Amino acid sequence: MDQLADFFKDKHVLVTGGAGFIGSNLTGKLLELGASVRVFDNLETGRMQNIAEFENHPRFDFFRGDIRKYDDCLAALDRIDLVSHQAALGSVPRSIALPLTTHDVNATGFLTLLEAVREKNIKRFVYASSSSVYGDSKISPKTIGSEGKLLSPYAVTKHLNEEYAGVYNRLHQTETIGLRYFNVFGPKQDPKGVYAAAIPKFIDAMLSGGEITIHGDGEQTRDFTYVDNAVRANLLGLSTTNTEAFGKVVNVACGDYFSLNKVIASIKEALQEMGKYHPETKITNGPPRPGDIRDSLAAISTTTELIGYSDPILFHDGMAKYLKSIFHS
Catalytic residues: 154
- Rounded Cα distance between 225 and 315, Å, is 7
Is 248 in contact with 221 (CB distance < 8 Å)? no
Amino acid identity, position 181: Y
Give 176's strand partners: 125
Angstrom distance (rounded) from CA 314 to CA 98: 34
Region class of 294: left (phi > 0), else alpha (psi between -120 and 50), else beta: alpha
171's CB contacts (< 8 A; 6+ apart) are none
Number of other CB atoms surrounding residue 287 within 10 Å: 8
C-beta of residue 60 within 8 angstroms of C-beta of residue 12: no
Cα 77 to its chain centre, rounded Å, is 21
User: Which CA distances in Å does 58 have to 52, 65, 123, 148?
Assistant: 13, 21, 25, 46
